[in-house]
Structure 1
Amino acid sequence: EPTPVSSLAPSPAPSAPTATTPQVRIIQPMNLRSGPGTHYPIVATAQPGETFPIMGVNAKGDWWQIERAGELLWVYAPFVEAENATGVPVVEAPPTPTPAPPTPTPAGNGGLAPAPAPVGTVVVYETTVRLPTYPFARYQSDARNEVYNWPYKRFDRERFLQEKPQPTEQEYRLLVLENAYLKVTILPELGGRIWQAIHKPSGANMFYQNPVVKPSPWGPAEQLGWLALGGMEWNLPVVEHGYDWGVPWGRIPLQHSKELASVTVFTPQDGRFLNASITVSLYAGAGSFIVEPTITNVSDRPLDFAYWHTAMLAPGPGNKPSGATQFILPGSQMTVHSTGDPRLPGPGEPFSWPVHQGVDFSLLGNWDQWLGFFERPAAHGPFVAVYDHDADAGVVRVYPADVARGSKVFGLGWRNAIGSDNFTDDGSAYVELHGGLAPTFDDLYHLPPGGAVTWREVWYPVQAIGGVTYADEVAALHVQPAEGGLRIGLYPTRPMNGTLILAADVQEVDRVPVKASPAQPFNHLAPIAEVQGPVDIRLTDRAGRTLFSYIYSGPLSR
């Protein structure tokens, strides 16, 4: 049984590896770190062909401790070749370093491993990106919300408009989670936001991506200057995007194994009464990513606060939603938050969904001016979706409605939309999906002293299935009446090889083999026009186990 030994023990005198010495062989450029994890600093690099004696392994078995020039360093095990490594001792990891605030890095990868082209694995790495940036910090001043002891930056929009500054390129650190299907990027210096989720088979980013960092007229009334930069941001402790959308968040990237990588971003540890940490995880072979927020009351008093995350979306390749963009939300009523459309009631009032007074408000092209609304009386779950039928692409959010009780949609409008020049310089646009702890912006979430709340959501892009009727973590399903039967579209979040079975009145009416993946969705015309009653749609694996099921009660043919 291996016995843990201290990683701080003196290193033995250097010796050349022999045929029986445990050793690693470097097969690609690698970072050597002071501890077993990407949150430890890089001490040196190693090049292909170099070999080093193995001195130990961490408790999880995914990092080797090696000796280099008399110094004990660590290298990530899945990316090197190990020889004669049976029985090496388990070594205690050195103390975890305290994460430092993000600072600008030089252009390029700054000595880090180059971006991979992973197949069958997942990696986390770091690079930089240059973005045209308006000098918004020049127009900010320090302020504080005393209720939460929360510092924030107040924006002087009037002076900004008078002086009309121009953007200049600025470099930002970019953290990347990447597997065969998705490339998820995170900007820690701009609110720790997810910036992109690129569906690699199509090249489309499921999020809106503003090409310029430009302060807008929006945000909390006492702050303003919100950056409509795109991606997904974390909004607390107040509504209307919170305070920390444009400041540096701490970050901890972790390569857990070759099957799992994550990035955790967290609010500054500066005495504020609430702490927030968001872990974004990506598995190998997955076409979806996981978002896990945790909010903690670190004060000695109970707190009522707001938490929402906001996803700015423009599915497909155009970076702008079309009039055929559809919002798919369960429920028959919504609550108006705000709108400029005279066909709808005022703030706080209900309206029928999706059709209100003969207008289908689930389609963006039927909107006049801006509209924001909540599911009524609270989020229904287990999913919401946005699908642009012109682009044949969309976005799915799967979440626990018993915890995340807020579900909100916002759009700039269509015929008389809010002008894009308020937040960008190229005419691009977006719609928003919000998820929150409380049902509406008028409600707050309560945490006692020392209390915390955490939950897990799954997000993913959807492509080439014609729409979304139902979704869960396994797949998104679209069902549409067609000539001769039902047209079925299935987008799985992982590669699958199974069988699609349709049954009505307990009788099987269609069975077809399914081989699909996030790169190759499944589409099928089920010839069941003469069937009566609801249709049970099931996807099973090769062992006959049900992976996904949905009961369709709509029309069976067109």
Structure 2
Amino acid sequence: MSEPLVRVWQEEIVIPTYLTGDPDKNPMFFEKRVYQGSSGVVYPNPVIEKVYDEKTDKTYTGLFLENAYLKIMILPELGGRVQMAYDKIAGRHFIYYNQVIKPALVGLCGPWISGGIEFNWPQHHRPSTFSPVDFSLEENADGSKTVWINEVENMFHTKGMAGFTLYPDKAYLEISAKLFNRTPLPQTFLWWANPAVKVNDHYQSVFPPDVNAVFDHGKKDVSSFPIATGTYYKVDYSPGTDISRYKNIPVPTSYMAIRSGYDFMGGYEHDARAGVLHVADHHVSPGKKQWTWGNGDFGRAWDRNLTDEDGPYIELMAGVFTDNQPDFSWLMPYEEKSFVQYFLPYRELGLVNNATKDILVSMQQAGDLLTVRVFVTSPQKGLVLRLFHDNRLLDQTRFSATPEDLFVRTLPVAPGIRARECRLAGRRRRGKRAAQR
């Protein structure tokens, strides 16, 4: 009997872990405590204020999803976070993989760890980020498999569920979230998916081409983007510094995109020629954020606080129902909100110009040569790509592609034509009748 196209299973795994102290037995009321720009109230959640320096091997329950393209590991004992996301084609972790559980007292209730994908809900750095949640494994009729995590959080008694799904022929991780207010009163919440990404001097954040400015928390300050020309986070970036590149940001810094009409954001490692994208409907998920500890002594000290050997990272955060922090949304009595987010690895494209969960495109120019690259997350046949300049068709080509092999088209263009002035249009052919319309 052949192996199933998608596998889901539960397995005990051992991870080196720095242990934490016991929770304070007395509830913490601190009504005026501020955390991430908003209330730091955590009652009735317990607070832990001790992390030990000794490391020991600890056994965890690992929940695994795997298909031909990806392998995912989720840890329900640590808030249901995605601890590992591996690209089998490229042979690399497309999400920062921290091989040790090394908490620092960063979270709302104390311990917090770097790496993976954390889900910040109903407050930033989630009260249960270091606590166990319920889970179940599901096999679907279409051959896909899902890991569900679920909790009723203690602060507002709202219910949050996230379903992690792999499909047989798709090179992306789908995350379906459902948030439900079980109470007769309106309740506040926020939801930011918080993936970590490995960085070095070759790393560059990938924001959509219409992002020309970024805000900090609460929109108190603004900077042009990607080239900063003024002072931002007390750093003078004049006469011009590319702050999409990790190496150029020396201090802890956040920035959030202003009004993007695109559905994607991500990051690219130029040395590895590979990256990661988040894709979601920008009307539902407008939040596009980068956070770094900074490429300096302070940042390197925090690297040592949070990992033993895996080095620096940044957070590429994706928020729903808001484009800034600490903005909150409302759940009316007995209301449910649901939405879908996608995370996917990609290769060779460099900075992406546009993307859906199915197709990613980039367009780059060197002199009078224009190169278009197309990456797909599932086998695609009968695609048609058109290149326009001033509404004039410059090129049309038909092709097929797979996640293993991207499509590349290089063509000469007349002097004076620039890539930024061109646009791409594409469709899938559906027989002669569709092609003639």
- TM-score between the two structures when normalised by the length of structure 2: 0.85
Q: What RMSD over aligned residues (CA atoms) do the two structures have, in Å?
A: 2.8
User: Could you say what secondary structure the match of 1:171 adopts?
Assistant: strand
CA deviation string 1:67-125 (max 9, x = no partner): xxxxxxxxxxxx8xxxxxxxxxxxxxxxxxxxxxxxxxxxxxxxxxxxx5x5xx22222
Contact 2:184 2:333 survives alignment (8 Å): yes
Query: Map of 1:182-197 to 2, 5 A cutoff?
Result: 182-197=70-85
- Work out which of the residue numbers 363, 370, 373 in structure 1 matches 2:245: 363
Query: CA 1:392/1:529 → structure 2, altered by over 3 Å: closer, same or farther?
Result: farther
Alignment of 1:256-335 (within 5 A): 256-257=140-141, 259-268=143-152, 272-314=156-198, 320-329=199-208, 330-335=210-215
CA 1:536–1:129: 2 relative to 1, 3 Å: same
The answer to whether structure 1 residue 539 and structure 2 residue 426 are counterparts is yes
**Which of 221, 225, 230 is 1:353 aligned to?**
225
Give the direction of change, closer, same or farther, for the CA distance of 1:123–1:427 in structure 2 (3 Å limit): closer
Contact 2:49/2:105 (8 A) holds in 1: no
User: Aligned residue for 1:85?
Assistant: none
Taking a change above 3 Å as real, the CA distance of residues 392 and 165 of structure 1, as seen in their structure-2 partners, is same
Match of 1:403 among 280, 284, 290: 284
Between 1 and 2, higher relative CO (CA 8 Å, sep ≥ 6) is seen in 2
Residue identity opposite 1:526 in structure 2: L
Q: Corresponding residue for 2:123? A: 238
1:505 to 1:442, Cα distance in 2 relative to 1, 3 A: closer
Q: In the superposition, relative to structure 1, how do residues 541 and 282 fare at CA in structure 2: closer, same or farther (>3 Å)? A: same
Cα distance in 2 for partners of 1:141, 1:231 equals 30
State the Cα deviation string for residues 296-338 of structure 1 (Å, max 9, x = none): 1111211123322211112xxxxx4434323324422211239
Which consecutive residues of structure 1, in runs of 5 or more, have no partner in the other structure?
1-26, 28-78, 80-115, 315-319, 339-346, 548-558
For 1:529 and 1:218, locate their aligned partners in 2 and report how far apart those are by CA, in whole Å.
55
Paired with 1:456 and 1:144, the residues of 2 have a C-alpha distance of 34
CA contact (8 A) 2:21 2:49 kept: no
Does 1:226 find its partner at 2:112? Answer: yes
Check 1:521–1:302 CA distance in 2 against 1; reply closer, same or farther (3 A cut): same
| Secondary structure at the counterpart of residue 247 of structure 2 | helix
Larger Rg: 1
Distance 1:372 1:202 in 2: 30
Partner of 1:50: none
How far residue 348 of structure 1 moved from its aligned partner, in angstroms, is 1.7
1:455 aligns with 2:334: no
Instruction: State whether residues 257 and 287 of structure 2, in contact with CA within 8 Å, keep that contact through their aligned partners in structure 1.
Output: yes
2:47 is aligned to 154
Greater alpha carbon shift after TM alignment, 392-401 vs 410-419: 410-419
Query: 322-331 or 357-366, which moves further after superposition?
Result: 322-331
May I ask how many residue pairs the two structures share in their alignment? 407
Deviations 1:532-555 (A, max 9, x none): 57433233334379x9xxxxxxxx
SS of residue matched to 1:365: helix
Q: In 2 relative to 1, CA 287–426 (structure 1 residues): closer, same or farther, beyond 3 Å?
A: same
- With the length of structure 1 as denominator, give the TM-score of the two structures: 0.67
Instruction: Check conservation: 2:188, 2:331, Cα contact below 8 A.
Output: yes
Amino acid at match of 2:249: W
Separation (CA, whole Å) in 1 of partners of 2:24 and 2:141: 42
Q: Relative to 1, partners in 2 of residues 1:151 and 1:544: Cα closer, same or farther, differing over 3 Å? A: farther
Deviation at 1:275, TM superposition (A): 0.9
- Aligned match for 1:524, one of 389, 409, 413: 409
- Cα distance, 1:380 vs structure 2: 4.3
Displacement of 1:288: 1.1
Where does 1:190-209 land on structure 2 (aligned, <5 Å)? 190-209=78-97
Q: Which residue of 1 aligns with 2:272?
A: 391
Spell out, residue by residue over 1:152-197, the C-alpha distance to the aligned partner (whole angstroms, 9 max, x if none).
Answer: 331214xx4xxx5311111111112211111122111111011222
Q: 2:323 aligns with which of 439, 446, 451?
A: 439
Counterpart in 1 of 2:36? none
Question: Corresponding residue for 1:485?
Answer: 369
The separation in 1 between residues aligned to 2:144 and 2:328, in whole angstroms, is 34
Identical pairs, percent: 25
